Amino acid sequence: MADKKLVDLPLETATKTHDIYVVSNGTTDNRVNLGSLILAKVEKPVNISPANSATNVAFLPELSASSYNPLYAADTRLHRVFQVTLSSDVNFATPVVDVTVNSDSYKLVDALTASGNYIWRCRDVSVNGDVSEYSEVFSFTTKAGEVVKPSVTSPTAGRTDVKAEVFTSSAFANTGGSDTLSGSEWELYSDGTLVHSSGLVSGSVNYTFPTGVLVVLTDYEVRVRHVGVNFGASEWSDYVAFTTDSVLSYENYLAVAHHTSLIS
């Protein structure tokens, strides 16, 4: 039976590579390289999105990578570092984004430039101070332009007397190039469930829900996005919450008011 030898390799605070050799007859002249073993207390993340060499990426992309993966379950994550920089800055000396978040993903808050060439990476840091390797560097290119995220302007948030009225949104706008309005898309939710989707409302940033969609004395949330001829759809607006009135149409409202006055 061949001799066996157990070798203890220390775990490092940071990642460290160990070269492993088998030596016969006690001389290095007869050694065989078995390869390298990388030992780390925290596994380096794997980039997911934007994918490597992605094109037409939004100005405010969401960066995401694989889940935090420590060697020991008790070694929880302190934060993840995300970095984005121009593709020419290969050493990330002056990143345009350098943030720490306790999440597998991060959505940019400051817009990147149109038709920009960027690279990005991330790494994890544990509560015990263990630091993973940086993920592999991925590259991407942003859009030539995009439609600005709109807002719902009417009804205003918190209204409790909404009827069958025209829902309005902010004016169409775009950045980075030239574009014109193709239309808007509206979604209506109740208790987190989608109850109506408008499809493309051609040539307009406003919308009136069809008869029967809105129900009296019901809580809703509505959102909108604008669609450009050249740059496609914007991000969805923030939700606006509202409650419908006890009577939905002004004609019915007047009829009810008239009937009430006759009774009184």
Q: pLDDT higher for 75 or 244? A: 244
Is residue 30 predicted with pLDDT exceeding 90? no
E strand or H helix at 44: none
| CA gap 89, 119 in Å, rounded | 8
Q: Which two tokens stand for residue 126?
A: 């544990």
Residues in the chain: 264
| CA gap 108, 111 in Å, rounded | 7
**Element counts in the chain: helices (H) and strands (E):** 1, 19
CATH of domain 47-142: 2.60.40.10
Same topology for domains 47-142 and 146-250, yes or no? yes
CATH superfamily, domain at 146-250: Immunoglobulins (2.60.40.10)
Which residues, 6+ apart, have CB-to-CB distance to 117 below 8 Å? 86, 87, 88, 139, 140, 141
Q: Of 36-50, 86-100, 181-195, 236-250, which range is least confident?
A: 36-50
Is residue 248 predicted with pLDDT exceeding 70? yes
Q: pLDDT higher for 33 or 230? A: 230
DSSP state of 69: -
β-bridge pairing 152-154 and 168-169: antiparallel
DSSP one-letter string for 165-210: --BEEPPP-EESS---EEEEEEEEEETTEEEEEEEEEET-S-B-PP
Is residue 102 predicted with pLDDT exceeding 90? yes
* Model pTM above 0.75: no
| CA gap 223, 195 in Å, rounded | 12
The single residue listed with the structure tokens 């939710």 is 189
Domain boundaries, the chain: 47-142, 146-250
Is residue 78 predicted with pLDDT exceeding 70? yes
Q: Measure Cα distances from 85 to 5, 51, 95, 119, 151 in Å.
A: 47, 15, 4, 6, 30
| Average pLDDT of every residue of the chain | 86
Count of CB atoms within 10 A of residue 206's CB?
14
The single residue listed with the structure tokens 């690279």 is 119
Amino acid code (one letter) for 128: N
Q: Is 25 buried (19+), middle (13-18) or exposed (0-12) by CB count in 10 A?
A: exposed
Contact 202, 182 (CB under 8 A): yes
The single residue listed with the structure tokens 């960027």 is 118
DSSP state of 111: P
Summarised one tens digit per residue, pLDDT across range 105-148 is 999 999 999 999 999 999 999 999 999 999 999 999 999 999 99
